[in-house]
Structure 1
């Protein structure tokens, strides 16, 4: 599996969403847009059910760590969720597979990580960037770090235990750290 990166330019973030919508589906664009706003691992993002959403909060147990994540939903996330809920009032999952609707007797399932990964990879190839299912989480972390320079906040948001891991994860390179030391003179 190739390493994927955070999307660092705001214009490119919007372009990824647009290309996912026109090349693949609104659902893939929604995965991207919501994933950017929730910073969840892809497995947790795709497993969200409407029961996990309580007003302006998302509450779920992370599959990798077993930790309980309580996330305040910002207005953009709330708007996306409400639109999906209005369009698909009988869905169990926020990102429910449409293929599953072909048989009334099948248990509902979310779209697969593989389908999302393929759509993201194709858009990434078109834009010549390493894009994958972790790119949403990495992008959110990267931009929070750029806005605050507070690695502890980014670690909390991503629920990481190590600053070094978090810095590598969001793509902050040694050159950027060196530049910060040069430019910040006290």
Structure 2
């Protein structure tokens, strides 16, 4: 796998909720929860408002592809956003204490702070979503087809490589000799 790596979904969910509940960095905790449960690129995540996160369906136009997408907010997101009941609906959800929207560089710094390990970046949230979908669907080709469509990849083989699955399969060849 090249670039960033994924994080264990349950660990990421726990870190996100801890940051929210403890008050240490609630908006970053919400970003983690939204990132691993929506599978968006961080640039698209940073554009979300509290109103969007409170809705059952989020409609966005992806920045990179220009494609319109409808996403469902699951119970993990709904539970996390309840801690922000006093926030203005129109505000960007992911702001620093100074009130400015997080930059991708700042998100990357926070990722490295809260998730120790090599190759952890903001993109790890999207990969964590992908690995969770793949694992929850018994690591099936069907799951890879859905993810390929969600990620706007041109082929399932790209999705497989993106999630680091291909390398794991190649490594298994050596281990099974």
TM-score, structure 2 normalization: 0.79
Shift of 1:28: 1.3
Shift of 1:157: 2.5
Q: Which residue of 2 aligns with 1:88?
A: 87
1:112 pairs with 2:96: no
Query: Separation in 1 of the partners of 2:133 and 2:144?
Result: 9
Q: Which runs of 5+ in 1 are unaligned?
A: 101-108
Q: Which residue of 2 aligns with 1:138?
A: 127
CA change 1:90–1:37 in 2 (3 A) is closer
User: How far does the alpha carbon of each residue in 1:12-56 deviate from its partner, in whole angstroms, 9 at most, with x for none?
Assistant: 334543675669512211111111011000000011124545730
CA change 1:135–1:44 in 2 (3 A) is same
User: How far does the alpha carbon of each residue in 1:61-113 deviate from its partner, in whole angstroms, 9 at most, with x for none?
Assistant: 110000001101111212323432x131265212234313xxxxxxxx42221
Shift of 1:168: 1.6
Shift of 1:121: 1.5
Q: Is the 8 A contact 2:17 2:80 kept in 1?
A: no
Query: Counterparts of 1:1-186 in structure 2 under 5 Å?
Result: 3-7=3-7, 9-14=8-13, 16-17=15-16, 25-52=25-52, 55-84=55-84, 86-89=85-88, 91-100=90-99, 109-124=100-115, 127-148=116-137, 149=140, 150-176=143-169
- Aligned CA RMSD, in angstroms, stands at 2.9
Query: Separation in 2 of the partners of 1:62 and 1:47?
Result: 10
SS for the counterpart of 2:70 is: strand
* Structure possessing the higher radius of gyration over alpha carbons: 1
Runs in 1 of length 4+ with deviation above 6 angstroms? none
TM-score, structure 1 normalization: 0.75
